[in-house]
Structure 1
């Protein structure tokens, strides 16, 4: 794991990240998307995210092994101290501690931005099946998240209903007045 580099994603990383993401769309209920985004759509997602939040990749010997990014929890200004996290690892890279490396770096950058609360929106199966397990919920629990909301049978994919849960992790205590939110482009990485 010493030779893994966590860095900010670039447009050159988009094909590799899309190759990681596509099986999650096609074969799992981890993503509730039905169709794999185009390369152009994914490039737009990256550019939109990097305008305000970090998008990180884990790289080893020039290969992208996974990625994690933050996005707005809600667009209204009062929520600017909250963010939502997402993470995707190449299927053969799970279980090596890579997810924790990505999230630890992501959380550190978000704290520099003034983010106080980090959320994760996670699909949950009523019963584990070939498309969805509880692995993401277990990972987030190990990372210090706890469940704050449950939405039973709200997502339909692969001809079955799945639940969704919101998990939360407090990154810092709020101050009064709060520290201003700083866009990712303005912090030292």
Structure 2
């Protein structure tokens, strides 16, 4: 993910400002004119950088989905223990939901507005990611490092517990993100890890 001090392209600025508007107003209620106003350009100029509101939504959803997929592939390829792989994935979710909260909100809440074939592709990518995550949890159950009754319940409880951060953290940026991550990881890992 780009660092905060990295010089952003106009397209990145458009995506970030659009994500903020989509989170505040909802995708359906946001117009290209709203986005242009937020970016500080004329609506006609916006089309030099992006074709449509639908393209903005697609780029936001797939940029984060691709980040998750890439990280999952790297983690799956390591020799790390299942419990360490789970921790790495949870840290990834915390990082994205804290540092990219408007983008994460859009991916998690507004993906339903994607049109075909993007919608099916996005859902397929999400299912694949979740299935890999489930495999890691089940591997941990097999080696005894993960003590849960049901892998799916464990997965969706962990992901849901992190998801709230995208809505909450942007209003509480004065709090230390590293402290927040340590607290949440501690709570979640204590719930699944064999003592």
**Considering the TM-score relative to the shorter chain, is it more than 0.5?**
no
TM-score computed with the length of structure 2 as normaliser = 0.28
Normalised by the length of structure 1, the TM-score is: 0.29
